[in-house]
Amino acid sequence: MSRPFLSGSVADVCFDLVATASEYGDEQGLADAVEQRVRSHGIVPERIGNSIVARTGGPGSAIVLVGHLDTVPNWAGGVAERTDQRIVGRGASDMKGGVAVMLRLLERMIDAPQPVAFIFYDREEGPNSDNGIHRVLADSTVLDPKPKLAVVLEPTAGTIHAGAVGSFNARVVFRGKSAHSARPWEGDNAISLALAEALARFAQREPVPVEVDGLLYHDVVTVTMLNAGIAHNVLPDRVELSVNVRIAPGRSAEAAQAEVVALAGPEAELTWLDTALPAEPRLSDPIVSDFVTRTGLPVFPKQAWTDVATLQEWGVPAFNYGPGEPSQAHQPGEWVEIAMLEECERVLAEELGAP
């Protein structure tokens, strides 16, 4: 007899998750499956859009485990595979491995006294303004009283990643005047305007190391996309750059945005598209420091943005700890080590007092 979907070992559950497509904005099928699996344990979850919130254990403030269901688009020809050592497929590392650990722990914590909440949420891989966690934190009654600690199971290679760098996205536009490419003196090439000074300034802007609580983060400004031109024989009258900014904990949004305005220069039209603030490490919080001490896990800075920032803004201490290599996120051939899935489940089960 075949096993029920999303049951079995943590590797079994991870394979099922990876085999179920759930690209950003198309999470309903996987959310339905997760809800059904939660209900199969006799737990009545909250359904908030395509996010699922559940709770086990007794009354009081819970520890909450957090994982997003969505992935970035799959690579061409990508399918779920299982070897003796790895689960391969889109989302294996980011972050269906973490979600698999959560589903295993939910099953193991059903009869345990420690209150534990679980947030399986949608729409993380897009603009922060559309992130499903915001609706969950605003509308959930399962999360009342407010949790005392949040563990976000993003890929950290089995270490603790404290805090998070902020992430801002800007559209930077340079305008010229269109003309026939045979007579460029009749126009004003917008590409030349952008390349002459602004792109050089962005390219020369080196990452800036920033130490916070003994952890080394980096402020980064990167041009990630460039779009210009309509034909081979037409001078472009418009160039659009996409600029991504990562700021270390403690740096203000205003300072970071002012720097980008200066780098773009007075000729540019600049629009901020999306902002997600950084998160402090909070390693001195007793509940966080106790976890670090008991587990003996190494601690590193999170040189990326995660919903640790959202949860801390909500008022809950949080850190990243999960299976998967961060370098595998969003990559063709993405994988997670089965041994790391098992180790992450073991560590969290021990911390939560799972049978």
Count of positions (residues) in the chain: 355
Q: What gap in Å lies between CA 240 and CA 144, rounded to an integer?
A: 45
Q: What is the pLDDT of residues 42-80, one digit of tens each?
A: 999 999 999 999 999 999 999 999 999 999 999 999 999
122 is catalytic: no
Antiparallel, parallel or unpaired: β 160-162 and 318-321:
antiparallel
Q: What is the pLDDT of residues 120-156, one digit of tens each?
A: 999 999 999 999 999 999 999 999 999 999 999 999 9
Mean pLDDT of 269-282: 96
Enumerate the β-bridge partners of residue 336.
87
Residue 177 tokens, joined: 């005047």
pLDDT score for 27: 98
Q: What is the pLDDT of residues 222-264, one digit of tens each?
A: 999 999 999 999 999 999 999 999 999 999 999 999 999 999 9
Peptide bond into 145 cis (omega under 30): yes
The whole-angstrom distance between residue 309's C-alpha and the CA centroid of its chain comes to 10
**C-alpha to C-alpha distances, 246 to 105, 179, 256, 325, 349, nearest whole angstrom:** 33, 37, 9, 20, 34
Antiparallel, parallel or unpaired: β 160-162 and 86-88:
unpaired
E strand or H helix at 150, and its extent?
Answer: strand 149-152
pTM passes above 0.85: yes
Q: What gap in Å lies between CA 105 and CA 353, rounded to an integer?
A: 10
Q: What gap in Å lies between CA 235 and CA 231, rounded to an integer?
A: 8
SS3 161: strand
The type of residue at 349 is A
Strand ranges, E, within the chain: 46-48, 51-56, 63-68, 81-82, 86-88, 116-121, 149-152, 160-162, 166-175, 208-212, 215-228, 238-247, 269-276, 299-301, 318-321, 335-337
> What are the residues whose beta carbons fall under 8 Å from the beta carbon of 55, sequence distance 6 or more?
43, 62, 115, 116, 117, 118, 142
**C-alpha to C-alpha distances, 22 to 86, 93, 286, nearest whole angstrom:** 20, 14, 37
70 is catalytic: yes
Scanning the structure block, which residue is given the tokens 């595998």? 328
pLDDT score for 277: 94
> Which residue in 124, 125, 154, 280 is the catalytic one?
124
Q: Which of 2-6, 24-28, 178-182, 269-273 has the lowest mean pLDDT?
A: 2-6
Domains of the chain (ranges, CATH numbers): 10-163+280-352 (3.40.630.10), 166-276 (3.30.70.360)
pLDDT score for 3: 81
Q: What gap in Å lies between CA 18 and CA 74, rounded to an integer?
A: 11
> Which residue in 16, 35, 70, 351 is the catalytic one?
70
pLDDT score for 139: 98
Across the chain, what does the average pLDDT equal? 96
Q: What gap in Å lies between CA 6 and CA 14, rounded to an integer?
A: 8
Q: What is the pLDDT of residues 293-325, one digit of tens each?
A: 999 999 999 999 999 999 999 999 999 999 999
